[in-house]
Amino acid sequence: MIVLGIDTSCDDTSVAVVSQDRGVLSSVVNSQVSLHHPYGGVVPELASREHIRNIVPVAEEALAKAEIRMTDLDGIAVTVGPGLVGSLLVGLHYARGLAWAGGLPMVGVNHLEGHILSILLEEDAPSFPFTVLTVSGGHTSLYFVEGPGVYRTLGQTRDDAAGEAFDKVAKILGLGYPGGPVIERLAGSGSRDRIDFPRAMLGPESLEFSFSGLKTAVALFVDRWKTAPSEMADIRIEDIAASFQEAVCDVLASKLFKAAEQTGALSVVAAGGVACNGALRERLRREGSTRRIQTFWPRPAYCTDNAAMIAMAGMVRLATGERADLSTDVRSRFPVDDLPAMGSAEGIQANP
Ligand code: KG4
Ligand code: ZN
């Protein structure tokens, strides 16, 4: 089976071709980062207009790179939520047009299910059940994954997502958008225990997150740092970045392993844009080996928003006969807990 995946849930126009036998044949992502950069965040209307401009060339590039024609496809998988409604509609309408014109089956995919199953794009993937932390600019959630399509939300953020905290702290420090990569780079030459920023654990057994207090603590600290530089002359921006990153990693790692403990899962996965972070990966690797829990994360290109993960999730759904009709609509909010269960994901795990 060969599936075309489409994701336009936020600010990236992504199209990918994934084959059941040969893995990811192409994955094209057209980033809008430079468009939104001056605003310090995504401007929804600009994002939708940019998707309209980009969707056809991105899809053509994905098919060309995969050396696949429309007639070789067996189905289309498109993100229908959660996300920005105007952006989602561009992908869905394009997918509908393709499905209708090509007489192809189409399936609507939950973007978070894409992140949850993105690890199946890698050869080194866990067997079910496992616990996943999806951590991006819009989400910070823990799920117990019993099998394909069977997800239980264990906890999520009460306020900001972890990626949002990276982006806001970068803005406070005047580093631009997106904040994660630049903070990680600066943190590499900073001292992570220089400043003791707060870690919101919200109770010993809690699997919920809160990052707004940390963001405020950094903002207050930076205010003092800027207005009374002589008192803090030995503190560098690198130290602030490293101490902030350490506080986020502490919370994410401790909650992910707590989730594994509570569910009895022997494997944990970190996915989503923030899971690109090297310090977080290192932390999970170390703690996993101490606790004898296997740790997994997709390569960076499958952590940040991409359509290969959507094609992957859609392929399993298409294989079990699921179909979306042409009247399918998008959903800005779309919890994964009540998705229909799927059949076996065996055999479509490996990436060549
Ligand atoms: O998954 P993603 O591409 O988009 C969604 O938000 O769905 O994630 C983007 C987020 C941004 O907030 C960005 O700052 C963060 O992921 N990010 C990182 C890193 N790379 C991207 N955060 C920390 N360290 C990184 N290396
Ligand atoms: Zn995402």
DSSP letter string, 167-219? HHHHHHTT--SSHHHHHHHHHTTS-TTSS-------STT---B--HHHHHHHH
Q: What's the pTM?
A: 0.93
Low-confidence ranges of the chain (pLDDT < 50): 347, 349-352
pLDDT of residue 124: 93
Distance (Å) from CA 334 to ligand 1 centroid: 20
Ligand 1 mutation pick, 304, 310, 334, max ligand atoms within 8 A of CB: 304
Per-residue CA distances from 237 to 3, 47, 242, 279 (Å): 46, 31, 9, 17
Question: 345: closest CA among 312, 322, 302?
Answer: 312
pLDDT of residue 280: 98
pLDDT in tens, 308-341: 999 999 999 999 999 998 889 999 999 998 788 7
How many residues are there in the chain? Answer: 352
pLDDT of residue 230: 79
Q: What domains lie within the chain, and their CATH numbers?
A: 2-117+302-338 (3.30.420.40), 127-297 (3.30.420.40)
pLDDT of residue 349: 47
Per-residue CA distances from 326 to 55, 78, 110 (Å): 19, 12, 17
Q: Looking at the CA of 248, name the nearest ligand.
A: 1
Distance (Å) from CA 278 to ligand 1 centroid: 12
Pocket of ligand 1 (CB under 6 A): 10, 136-138, 163, 166-167, 178-181, 184, 272-274, 276-277, 304-305
pLDDT of residue 268: 98
pLDDT in tens, 219-272: 999 999 998 877 788 999 999 999 999 999 999 999 999 999 999 999 999 999
Average per-residue pLDDT for the chain: 94
pLDDT of residue 352: 37
